[in-house]
Amino acid sequence: MLVLGVETSCDDTCAAVVSDRGVFSSVVSSQVDVHAKYGGVVPELASRSHMKNIVPVIEEAIALAGVSIKDIKGVAVTKGPGLMGSLLVGIEAAKGIAAANAVPIVGINHIEGHLNAITIEQGVEYPHIALIVSGGHTSLYLVRGFGEYELLGRTRDDAVGEAFDKISKAMGLGYPGGARIEKFAKEGDPKAFRFPKANMGKGSLDFSFSGLKTAVARQIKGFENGEIPVSDIAASFQAVAVQALEEKAVTAALKHKVSLIVLGGGVACNETLRTSIKEKAGEHEISVAYPSKTNCTDNAAMIAAVGRRKLLDGANHGFDFSALATWPL
């Protein structure tokens, strides 16, 4: 079954074609140039860019897959959570294609996409712990099987990717910040500054990054009239953020007696997180798996992969559903 996936929840316009033989095409049109000068995503500009890009991106995904629109047997689109205007552009385009071709359509939760992105590339054992870390989300799930997700913990304030982005902005490194912080951190001393790790109380699997972000921002302000030690600050911040993520993920795996942790979301591109969590989990004979970087960041292949499973089960959400800006999984 050939499925078209559409994802427009934030600032990337994405379309993909997948089948039981894998991903035929996955196109991501980035809006980084549109938002960079504002240091973050401007929702109205994101909607407008999606409007401009959605048809060419879908056409490109179909062309790259080497198929015709007539071969598409189902459509999967991100229904939420995300920016309302952005989501609506993808949903209406997807509905139009489903209607014109008389094929079923399913609305997919963006987080469920990230949770299953790994399955595009490899099989995974169940149950496992999933750590989803992105610009909008920082959550830990116990995944018992496809469609069976139990939320174990989440951030009580900022998402970890948001903290990377804001600290990058505060040091004038630009947007998006994650990869830039990582680059500078490579040259820095992670012990140069002592930033606080949030204490969430005994047994809690929740996260908090606003205290860390504020402490780092205060440190940066202290260098206002001098040169900011960018690499040392980046390395010291990244070390604390990564430590918080891996500690909770390993604690969750031990608590639920599972031997696999799966990563997903844009921050899972971070090499320090990848290496460090592997080491820490390895001490307890827990393995760690993560998708390639293009399947960590937002993409439509992960939406199509989840949608395909639901379509094969006979799901069809019809044309009455709409976007959900918030939608807990």
Residues that bind ligand KG4 in the complex, under the rule CB under 6 A: 10, 134-136, 161, 164-165, 176-179, 182, 265-267, 269-270, 297-298
Q: Which stretch binds Zn ion (CB under 5 A): 195-203, 236-244, 268-276, 296-304?
A: 296-304
Query: Could you tell me the CA-to-CA distances from 219 to 167, 188, 213 in Å, in that order?
Result: 11, 15, 10
Question: How near is the Cβ of 88 to ligand KG4 at its closest, in Å?
Answer: 17
What is the residue-wise DSSP string for 68-111?
-GGG--EEEEEEESS-HHHHHHHHHHHHHHHHHHT--EEEEEHH
Nearer to ligand KG4 by C-beta: 136 or 291? 136
Q: Which does 188 bind (CB under 5 to 8 A by kind): ligand KG4, Zn ion, none?
A: none
Return the bridge partners of 16, or none. Answer: 5, 26
CA atoms within 13 A on the CB side of 209: 28
Q: Which stretch binds Zn ion (CB under 5 A): 129-137, 144-152, 219-227, 314-322?
A: 129-137
Question: How near is the Cβ of 89 to ligand KG4 at its closest, in Å?
Answer: 16
Question: How near is the Cβ of 303 to ligand KG4 at its closest, in Å?
Answer: 12
Question: How near is the Cβ of 219 to ligand KG4 at its closest, in Å?
Answer: 19
**298 lines the binding site for Zn ion (CB under 5 A):** yes
Nearer to Zn ion by C-beta: 104 or 265? 265
Question: How near is the Cβ of 312 to ligand KG4 at its closest, in Å?
Answer: 26
Q: Which stretch binds Zn ion (CB under 5 A): 21-29, 47-55, 57-65, 294-302?
A: 294-302
The Cα–Cα gap between 143 and 126 comes to 7
Residues contacting Zn ion: total by CB under 5 A: 2
**238 lines the binding site for Zn ion (CB under 5 A):** no
Question: How near is the Cβ of 181 to ligand KG4 at its closest, in Å?
Answer: 6
- In 10 A of CB 144, how many CB atoms? 14
**134 lines the binding site for Zn ion (CB under 5 A):** yes
Question: Are the C-beta atoms of 23 and 106 separated by less than 8 Å?
Answer: no
Nearer to Zn ion by C-beta: 82 or 188? 82
Q: Which does 297 bind (CB under 5 to 8 A by kind): ligand KG4, Zn ion, none?
A: ligand KG4
**12 lines the binding site for Zn ion (CB under 5 A):** no
Within 146-243, strands assigned E span 148-154
Q: Which does 112 bind (CB under 5 to 8 A by kind): Zn ion, ligand KG4, none?
A: none
What is the residue-wise DSSP string for 142-154?
EEEETTEEEEEEE
Nearer to ligand KG4 by C-beta: 81 or 307? 81
User: Nearest 5°: phi and psi at 66?
Assistant: 70, 30
User: Residue 113 burial by CB count (10 A; 0-12/13-18/19+): exposed, middle or buried?
Assistant: buried
Question: Are the C-beta atoms of 130 and 262 separated by less than 8 Å?
Answer: yes
Q: Which does 153 bind (CB under 5 to 8 A by kind): ligand KG4, Zn ion, none?
A: none
Residue with tokens 């095409």: 25
Note the Cα 151 to chain centre separation in Å.
Answer: 16
Nearer to Zn ion by C-beta: 68 or 292? 292
Which residues 6+ apart lie within 8 Å of 123 measured at CB?
Answer: none
The helix/strand/coil state of 1 is coil
Nearer to ligand KG4 by C-beta: 70 or 186? 186
Nearer to Zn ion by C-beta: 134 or 238? 134
Residues that bind Zn ion (CB under 5 A): 134, 298
